[in-house]
Structure 1
Amino acid sequence: MKNVVKSHKTPEYLVVGGYYYSIIVAVKGVQLNFPQISVDYTILDLSNNMFEGQIPDIIGDLSSLIVLNLSHNNLTGRIPHALGNLSEIESLDLSWNHLTEEIPQSLAALTFLAFLNLSQNHLVGRIPEGKQFNTFEANSFGGNPKLCGIPLPEKCEHPHEQQLEDDEETESGFTWRVVMLGYGCGTLLGLVMGYLMLSTGKPKWFNAIADAGADMIQPRRNKRRYIFIGK
């Protein structure tokens, strides 16, 4: 396949054996019948196959592509950044694959992109914003649980806010560990001391402290003043 040079003012169509070339293809999510294929209308539809592996970067060199449909395959890996070079693309369907990583920001620069379907993959991160991306609905990105941002209801957390939350959780967890460690040590020490006191029969050192305290208090209680008045 090579790029088409759009030098014709009047439409020209592909002809095979004296007949116009026709095809049925999925365009913008709808199956359409093209009884005559325009030379300038370049379509690459490889959907519903068993293709595996990554999407080759070389597809980004086909700048005259109008429709690219790679849906319902077993494609893996990232979405190539080079797809942002498809300056004429109007319909891009990569749904029902196993694509991973983030959606490249380069796709947000596609001015003529009217239909986009990236649903049912394993994409992650924030959905790019700008130009045509602001017009797509949530079903264009559905089935990617780790995607966030407009138009999905899941909001993306700011990296700084996420770092603060992680720090707070770490600090809180450390504080609770210290408290529980102190509580456990104190409880163990109390049990050991109680066992030693009970095993000796008489806690003599405790009785000595109690007797000393009683001796200090008793004289104060018994101290009284008497006044005798004689004849």
Structure 2
Amino acid sequence: MLEVLNLGNNQIHDTFPLWLGALSQLRVLILRSNQFHGPIILPQINQSFPMLQIIDLSSNSFMGGLPSNMFENWKAMIDEDKSQSFLHRTLYGPREPQYYQDTVTVMIKGLDRELTKILSIFTIVDVSNNYFQGDIPKSIGILKSLHLLNMLHNSFTGQIPTSLENLAMLESLDLSQNNISGEIPWQLTKLTFLSVLNLSQNHLVGSIPQSKQFLTFTNESFQENPRLCRPPLSKKCKDAEGSPSSAQSERKYDWELMWIGFGVGYGAGVGMLFWTLALWRKGRREFYIFVDGMLALIFTSMAFSK
């Protein structure tokens, strides 16, 4: 019946305790600031942590990639309708808000916060300050009830998955201090509850989306991405040398010029030939003699080859 397990700020030296996933009522798991290490390896059929709503693995030495099936059984974070209906009852119904009577410290919006009573609809995934690498799993987009996602200070690569657009309840997203590349997906503008965003210190390129929530974020959300442009950064996109968008445009322009030149040259050649045959009688006669000679040579060669 265990619902809250807080082992944070100890000196536990171990790999990820996968067997805790058998606790069918576990909702809060805090392993932050220990000496946990190694990769997180889950079985192909994952049935772990079905009721989990807060998981904090921050400030350890976990490594490797996040398993793509890690989130598939976290039903309490997946069931958006359940969370919204409970929130509606909490705000408008006759019942008092439901809390877990416990105290944990988690990182919220860049700062360590102590939650003296944990609201039962609050959901957090914090894997910051580890050595995770590889792509951010697209499957994280199924956690439709997730409120806070913190992946700060790892070694994630690849692009920001567009599946994050499905995290409709997300309020805080921190992907800073990684090796993420590519452009910022415009789909992130659909996150209307997003109030804190940090994408700084990556390798992002191209234009910052200029709509909805993105207009409220400051320079600090995007700094130290040298090839990123548009407000709130001072760099204009035409100054972002070598960005994929500009390079792609230049290549497209070069191909267009090549085809235009080919078309003009072909048209000019056909036109010159037409006017030569139409207006120059002697040239037309010589051309016909040349064509007849070539055809005779071809047919003669075909005959001897048989």
TM bucket, shorter chain: 0.5 to 0.7
1:13 lines up with 2:99 in the alignment = yes
Take 2:199 and 2:181, find their aligned partners in 1: how far apart are those partners?
Answer: 11
- Aligned residue pairs: how many? 161
Match of 1:131 in 2: 212
Match of 1:150 among 231, 247, 260: 231
Q: What secondary structure, in the 3-state scheme, does the structure 2 residue paired with 1:41 have?
A: coil
Measure how far apart 1:76 and its partner are. 0.6
1:57 lines up with 2:142 in the alignment = no
Match of 1:95 among 176, 189, 192: 176
1:121 lines up with 2:202 in the alignment = yes
Match of 2:161 among 67, 80, 88: 80
Take 2:211 and 2:190, find their aligned partners in 1: how far apart are those partners?
Answer: 7
Measure how far apart 1:29 and its partner are. 1.6
Contact 1:109–1:130 (CA under 8 A) maintained in structure 2? no
Q: Which deviations, in whole Å up to 9, do the C-alpha atoms of 1:107-143 show, x marking residues without a partner?
A: 1111010000000000111011111100000110001
1:25 lines up with 2:106 in the alignment = yes
Task: Give the AA of the match of 1:55.
Answer: I
Q: What secondary structure, in the 3-state scheme, does the structure 2 residue paired with 1:98 have?
A: coil
Give ranges in structure 2 of 5+ residues lacking alignment.
1-73, 91-95, 239-244, 258-306
Match of 2:127 in 1: 46
TM-score (norm 2): 0.49
Measure how far apart 1:67 and its partner are. 0.5
Take 2:97 and 2:132, find their aligned partners in 1: how far apart are those partners?
Answer: 34
Measure how far apart 1:21 and its partner are. 3.5
Measure how far apart 1:105 and its partner are. 0.4
Measure how far apart 1:13 and its partner are. 2.3
Give ranges in structure 1 of 5+ residues lacking alignment.
15-19, 171-231
Measure how far apart 1:25 and its partner are. 1.5
1:141 lines up with 2:240 in the alignment = no
Match of 1:207 in 2: none
Q: What secondary structure, in the 3-state scheme, does the structure 2 residue paired with 1:150 have?
A: coil
Take 1:25 and 1:146, find their aligned partners in 2: how far apart are those partners?
Answer: 33
Q: Which deviations, in whole Å up to 9, do the C-alpha atoms of 1:52-100 show, x marking residues without a partner?
A: 1110011111010111001011111100000011111110000000000
1:37 lines up with 2:118 in the alignment = yes
Structure 1 residues 174-193: aligned runs within 5 Å = none
Q: What secondary structure, in the 3-state scheme, does the structure 1 residue paired with 2:180 have?
A: strand
Contact 1:122–1:144 (CA under 8 A) maintained in structure 2? yes
Take 1:76 and 1:22, find their aligned partners in 2: how far apart are those partners?
Answer: 34
Match of 2:192 in 1: 111
Match of 1:187 in 2: none
Which of the pair has more CA radius of gyration?
1
Task: Give the AA of the match of 1:25.
Answer: V
Take 1:93 and 1:82, find their aligned partners in 2: how far apart are those partners?
Answer: 16
Q: Which deviations, in whole Å up to 9, do the C-alpha atoms of 1:8-65 show, x marking residues without a partner?
A: 4232223xxxxx3332112112211112221111011111111111100111110101
